[in-house]
Amino acid sequence: MILDCFSFIGMHESVLPLTTHSRYELNGATGLDRYHQLVRYLRIQHCKLKDIEEWTDDDWIRILRSDQTARRLLSLLRLKINDLPETLRTNSMVNVFIRVWPHLLALPNSHGTFPYEITVVTAAYKENVSQLLSKLQHALDAANLPEKIQWILVDAGHNPDLEEAMSKLPHVQLMKGTSGGRGPSLNQGASVATGRILLFLHADTRVAQGWDVAVQNAFDNSTDLRGATTTTATAFSFAIDTTEKGLQGGCPPPGIKAIETTANWRTQLFSLPYGDQCISIPRVYFDYLGGYPHQSLMEDYELISLLRRRRVSCRERLTILPLSAHCGPRRWQAFGVLYVTYTNSKCVRLYAKNVLTPDELYEIYYGSTVNTVRSPWETELELLLSRDEKKVR
């Protein structure tokens, strides 16, 4: 989904979230709801040896940094802290949350031993299977170190004969998607990844020769003179595939080069890459930040928004690599440059203003409906709290 830079400019909240959040998570519960959920969850999961009132700041930091559900709940609570009654906003536990917050923002160490250097995750929805296989084969051929790459393809639906066709690419692990659109599909693929770095490759994107080494080098050489990690994510420069193969027998739409130029200007100036520029991020960072929000569209918007906001507070950066990722031109060919540009910008503005939900955008963008189910962590949380409530009774 194309992002609009002006929707990001001025989009700022006073509190830097700990994790990404879907619109459903943000709008589905009040701050008071999140407070009670967090306290109950911590009592169930972490109070076997010491009651919550006896925890030191070090206890809080250790537990919150190691427990993603607790971190998600606390992040949602902080974003809606003004919903709390005055008596709760000033109580000792809320004061602890505010006090330990800076210690929770720091990313964990991304170094370690992994079976693969990179895991490529692709979600396929309504794809031409032969073209999809061609793009994946090209990505394999363009890699300098293919033996260090794991490949995961999530079948998000409406890809006829995909399973049979994938027998031609035995190195690619095919997963059946659990529905819900892009965010859930990409998270599903990432959940089984064993690579040090996750790279999210759109099904219609063609990568450049040596793309894998370029990504690895960006993270391996991402420490400044003060020892601070500066690169938390990368993306390639933007290009549109106007080769004969990319155009599929059609003509380049008028104005297509202007799209490339303005996209790269915006990407470099504002650090706002598109999802089809192959966003990559170390697996450890991705997990700690909550992954993509569990929503059908605008998942890249939300993740990039969080990464951009972290740059100043956490001395990090999103690195744009000189190699280009060539996006398929099919949408511009079908609808024209002006229409696609106008529609994308309008949709992003309506989303940023909370006028349209991700599912409503999905219907506009793909012409079909989708019902994003509740986030897996919220489903598990509800079951845990429900079981505990039955025990009490």
Q: pLDDT for 129-153, tens place per residue?
A: 999 999 999 999 999 999 999 999 9
pLDDT computed for residue 367 by the predictor: 84
How high is the pLDDT of residue 7? 41
Helices 299-314, 92-105: axis angle to 10 degrees equals 90
Range of the structural domain that residue 302 is part of: 1-8+16-393
Q: Which two tokens stand for residue 188?
A: 């599903």
**Which contacts qualify for 263-266: CB closer than 8 Å, 24 or more apart?**
263/238, 264/237, 264/238, 266/5
Note the pLDDT of residue 223. Answer: 58
Per-residue burial over 215-245, b = 16 or more CB atoms within 10 Å of its CB, e = otherwise: bbebbeebeeeeeebbbbbbbbbbbbbbeee
- The Cα 253–Cα 255 span in angstroms is 6
- Position 225 scores a pLDDT of 44
DSSP per-residue codes, 68-124: HHHHHHHHHHHHTGGGS-HHHHTSHHHHHHHHHHHHHHSPPP--S--SEEEEEEEEE
pLDDT at residue 1, as a whole number? 42
Query: pLDDT value at position 303?
Result: 97
Q: What is the pLDDT of residue 228?
A: 53
pLDDT, residue 90, reads 82
pLDDT means over runs of 10, the chain (393 residues) = 41 79 94 96 92 94 97 96 88 92 93 94 94 96 98 94 93 91 96 98 96 96 59 96 89 90 90 92 97 96 94 87 95 92 90 93 87 89 91 70
Report field, pTM of the whole predicted structure over 0.75? yes
Greatest CA separation for the chain: 70
CA-to-CA dists, residue 187 to 122, 140, 148, 382, angstroms? 10, 22, 21, 20
pLDDT at residue 263, rounded to an integer:
92
In this prediction, residue 9 carries a pLDDT of: 39
Number of domains composing the chain: 1
The domain that contains 203 carries what CATH number? 3.90.550.10
